[in-house]
């Protein structure tokens, strides 16, 4: 699958990533992890902490799939508001989903600290702005729900926004507890530590072409006709998992992003907080550890790579213009990096985590949505528990066969 086009920022931040061999012999393991991006790395972390004999393979190098085009944003809030989650799934389930996301933001920071992993993880506040006056009523309702259920939020009126930023918006939810990170460094750094300290076997340039499921195990066949025999498998191949089976809840679209030159200061930008908006599709904007700005969004409802790539030049210009509109005091901005990428989400707003009847012994970690790395962290916790004990108290929220309206705890 053609996942992205353009000049990506993140791979340039780690010019000499760890290298691994391709598979050149038949091997066995307890669990095979397919996918060496953020999802595979996090699933590998939780499995290796349990002492599982695991192997991780990727048909590319580590972090070279959609991880390389990841926004690097971790949020407690989601593309699907808490208001909408409660409406779709009920109060208990909707609130629980948001609590899991909040916990996952902190969990990723804990993992980085525990392993002394430099993934440029930085806590950030967040400003969720009303794109227009008509959005204020729903924004206030969202604030009231978040506040009621214990999330660290406050409501900002237009005057307070104007005092703290160089732009004017009619209202916003200001929240604490989000974070930014470098997804390429996270995937490469975490997998290197798991390989060096925990015994994870890693093979790159190793493409799985097919597999056969038996009563108690799986046999995977690679492009070079090697086999991997495993009791269970974790499918962490991101949007390419749709090539195994097209899920009706999944949507593949295109998104765009720009990274500027390094800047010396950020006038008119309170706390360098994350900024996003109520409009759909929305714009998001963040800073990086080396003082660049990343602005992205302007999604298009196409997964056609040629259509997507043809839009990149114009989208780059528009994204830069939006940045200058928000922060006119920054001066002249240059797009040193710009890219277009496939972006996956779901119709009901939750990721897809768990098993599918057609694929026995396989567990899917598909963090589809704008908060993908948060979802991958949740997926790692759930899947490692399912493999170890057969259950997890939150697994029902994300199962593939979940009903569209109300989930059950039974």
pLDDT digits (tens, 9 = 90+) for 340-356: 999 999 999 999 999 99
Over residues 252-269, the mean pLDDT reads: 98
Instruction: Write the DSSP assignment of 268-320 as a string of letters.
Output: TBGGG-EEEESSSS--EEEE-TTS-EEEEEEEES---HHHHHHTHHHHHHHHH
DSSP 228-274: EEEEEEEE--GGGGGGT---TTEEEEEEEEEEE---S--TTBGGG-E
215-233: average pLDDT? 99
How far is Cα 276 from Cα 129, in angstroms, rounded to an integer? 6
Q: Do residue 114 and residue 263 come from a single domain?
A: no
The mean per-residue pLDDT over the stretch 100-121 comes to: 99
Give 86's pLDDT tier (boundaries 50, 70, 90): very high
For the segment 394-404, the average pLDDT, to the nearest whole number, is 91
* Per-residue pLDDT, 1: 87
Give the Cα separation of 211 and 224 in Å (integer). 14
148 burial via Cβ count (<10 Å: 0-12, 13-18, 19+): exposed
Instruction: State yes or no: pLDDT of 405 exceeds 70.
Output: no
**Is residue 274 in some structural domain?**
yes
pLDDT band for position 65 (cuts 50, 70, 90) = very high
Looking at the fold, whether 43 and 113 belong to one and the same domain comes out as yes
Does residue 188 share a domain with residue 163? no
| pLDDT greater at residue 408 or residue 362 | 362
- Rounded to whole angstroms, the Cα distance separating 109 from 120 reads 10
Whether residue 408 is predicted with pLDDT greater than 60 in this model: the reply is no
* Residues of the domain holding 212: 21-121+181-246+349-400
- Give the tens place of pLDDT for each residue, 139-162: 999 999 999 999 999 999 999 999
Is residue 208 domain-shared with residue 231, that is, in the same domain? yes
Whether residue 268 sits in one domain with residue 150:
yes
Distance CA 285, CA 319 (A): 10
Cis, peptide link before residue 81, omega less than 30° from 0: no
- pLDDT at residue 138 greater than cutoff 50: yes
* pLDDT at site 90: 95
| Residues 8 and 296 sit within 8 Å (Cβ to Cβ) | no
pLDDT average, residue stretch 178-192: 99
Q: Summarize pLDDT for 20-45 with one digit per residue, the tens.
A: 999 999 999 999 999 999 999 999 99
Q: 11 lies in a domain?
A: no
For residue 407, is pLDDT > 80?
A: no
pLDDT at 409: 36
* Per-residue pLDDT, 404: 58
Q: What mean pLDDT do residues 310-332 have?
A: 97
> If you average pLDDT over every residue of the chain, what do you get?
97
State if pTM tops 0.95. Answer: yes
Give the pLDDT score at 297.
Answer: 98
Same domain, 185 and 232: yes
Q: Is residue 13 part of a domain?
A: no
Domain shared by 47 and 115, yes or no? yes
With respect to residue 149, please indicate whether it lies within any of the assigned structural domains.
Answer: yes
Burial class of residue 405, CB neighbours in 10 A (0-12, 13-18, 19+): exposed
């Amino acid at each position: 699958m053609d996942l992205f086009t353009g000049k990506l920022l993140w791979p340039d931040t780690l010019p000499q990533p760890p290298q691994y061999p391709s598979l050149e012999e038949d091997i066995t393991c307890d669990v095979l992890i397919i996918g060496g991006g953020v999802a595979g790395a996090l699933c590998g972390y939780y499995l290796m902490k349990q002492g599982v004999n695991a192997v991780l393979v990727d048909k590319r190098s580590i972090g070279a799939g959609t991880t390389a085009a990841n926004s690097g944003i971790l949020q407690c809030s989601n593309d699907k508001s808490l208001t909408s989650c409660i409406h779709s799934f009920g109060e208990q389930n909707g609130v629980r989903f948001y609590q899991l996301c909040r916990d996952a933001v902190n969990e990723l920071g804990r993992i980085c600290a525990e392993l002394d992993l430099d993934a440029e993880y930085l806590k950030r506040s967040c400003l969720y702005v009303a794109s227009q006056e008509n959005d204020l009523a729903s924004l206030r309702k969202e604030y009231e729900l978040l506040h009621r259920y214990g999330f660290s939020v406050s409501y900002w009126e237009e005057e307070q926004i104007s005092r703290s930023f160089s732009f004017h918006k009619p209202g916003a939810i200001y929240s604490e507890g989000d974070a930014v990170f470098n997804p390429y460094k996270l995937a490469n750094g975490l997998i290197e530590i798991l390989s060096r300290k925990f015994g994870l076997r890693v093979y790159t340039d190793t493409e799985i072409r097919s597999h056969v499921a038996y009563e108690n195990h799986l046999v995977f066949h690679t492009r070079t006709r090697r086999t991997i025999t495993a009791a269970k498998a974790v499918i962490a191949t991101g949007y390419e998992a749709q090539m195994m089976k097209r899920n009706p809840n999944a949507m593949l679209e295109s998104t765009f992003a720009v990274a500027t030159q390094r800047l010396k200061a950020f006038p008119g930008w309170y706390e360098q907080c994350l900024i996003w908006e109520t409009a759909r599709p929305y714009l998001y904007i963040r800073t990086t550890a080396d003082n660049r700005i990343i602005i992205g969004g302007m999604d298009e409802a196409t997964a056609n790579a040629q259509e997507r790539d043809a839009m990149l030049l114009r989208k780059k210009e528009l994204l830069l213009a939006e940045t200058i509109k928000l922060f006119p005091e920054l001066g002249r901005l240059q797009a040193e990096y710009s890219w277009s990428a496939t972006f996956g989400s779901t119709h009901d707003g939750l990721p897809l985590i768990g098993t599918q009847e057609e694929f026995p012994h396989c567990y899917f970690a598909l963090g589809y949505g704008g908060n993908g790395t948060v979802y991958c962290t949740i997926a790692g916790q759930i899947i490692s528990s399912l493999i170890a004990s057969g259950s997890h108290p939150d697994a029902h929220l994300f199962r593939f066969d979940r009903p569209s309206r109300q989930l059950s705890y039974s």
